[in-house]
Copies of this chain bind each other. A is one copy, B any other.
Amino acid sequence: MAERNIAHLTATEARAELEAGTLTSLELVDACLARIAERDSDVGAWAHLNAEAARKSAQEADARRAAGKSVSPLTGIPVGIKDIIHTTDFPTEYGSSVFAGNQTSEDAFIVAQLKAAGAVLLGKTVTTELAFFGPGKTRNPRDLERTPGGSSSGSAAAVADDQVFLALGSQTAGSTIRPASYCGTVGFKPTFGYTSRTGVLPQSEPLDTLGGYARSVDDIALLFDAISAHDPADTGMAPGNRPSLVDALAEPGPKVPRFAYVRSPGWPQAEAAMKAAFDDFAGSFGARAEVVETPLPAEFDEILRLQQIVQFSDIARNYGPIADANPDAISAKLKEIIAEGRTFSSSNYAAAREEQESLYEALCAVLGNYDAILTPAATGVAPIGLASTGSPVFNGLWTYLGMPCISLPLIEIDGLPVGVQLTSARGSDAALLRVAKWMTTDKGARG
């Protein structure tokens, strides 16, 4: 019998084995550490690791379980944390030398929830510079000559490469979905305001959303159920408890889902191979789903620019003082964006914020008829080279509109993954995951 590949289990499978007693948390952690030891010099997904602390935390989880104490679904599961999220156990360096060795005195609200759930914090994953475009050291695990995407580079790469079961990312334009697409894993950005951002580097308050990576849709539900408690300090969060996503996935999804196939304004910038593969994918459902190609009205033509006006203005505000104080430590590209952000007037910003709502309302008229929008996650497979993290033209608009998005690794082009993105109305996170699960099971999968 071949040795079991424990590190390749889904978090849901790992949880079941922990509960059945067929695996321990220490075995999970050791499997991750072994995989990291084998791959880290190539992939470089981690900014900070602490094997000893992780093993100790796993042993505590195992002891807790052995003693019959209460445990939660994430107890003993290793999780990676994007290095813009504050942790008392690790430095938080924001992917910038300006913050080398930066040690925060408090855990982010979501980290505190992970700890309370008994999750094992395996380490901090590489982020691009201040979660913008300056690449970190991470390489794409599917092809080391290619970018993993960004800004949540390390989280996507580590989950895709079986180095950890779950990882946290974030998205202001396309920082969760694009790396998921490039690395070939499941990436999820919930509705704006679904999780707390207290203790997370702020880039753009009306856009910043916590995201996450996993190897299945069920795993995404497991992760987000653990971190969705209401945080009164994050005024972007709607009050009230989130219904359980795990429970929602136990309910049946739509029998014959209806998809709006929206190529979106980024389409002309996509690669020919991706366009062909995506059209082929959209046409492959036959009677198992209804797929209606749905053009966006002309008023959406400027939406990518509107997203940038908000994002770049807020970058100028939030990062400008950092760049001014440390000009030599900040990338030229980021300084350029700060300068651009400073050119926008308050009227530009207010108009872009107003359009955010009115375009969403306009889209709702379309969404009323469909279970989800089917749309590309990226312009193509991960680009060759590490200097750029690729283009977010298939992501920024959905982030701007505050809609939940998921990327599913369902397409391959010449052996490299491209994500299928699904998005739907604000607040429909559970329903979106149900459609995503349908799509990743035999029922939805092609042919």
Contact = CB atoms under 8 A, between A and B. Distances in A.
A409 to B, nearest CB: 35
A344 interface: yes
Contacts of A358: 235
A301 to B, nearest CB: 20
Interface string A209-235: 000000000000000000000001101
A341 interface: yes
Interface in A321-371: 341-342, 344-351, 353-354, 357-358, 360-361
B313 A346 contact: yes
Contacts of A357: 235-236
> Main SS of chain A's interface residues?
helix
A342 B341 contact: no
- Chain A interface: which size bin? 20 to 34
B347 A345 contact: no
A316 interface: yes
A347 B351 contact: no
A317 interface: yes
User: Quick one: copies of this chain in the complex?
Assistant: 2
Nearest to A358: B235
Given A232-B361, A235-B358, A235-B361, A350 B347 contact: no
A89 interface: no
Contacts of A310: 350
A429 interface: no
A347 B232 contact: no
Contacts of A232: 361
Nearest to A342: B345
Contacts of A316: 345-347
Given A205-B354, A353-B353, A354-B205, A347 B317 contact: yes
Contacts of A320: 347
9 contacts: A206-B350, A232-B361, A235-B354, A235-B360, A236-B357, A313-B347, A320-B347, A345-B346, A349-B350
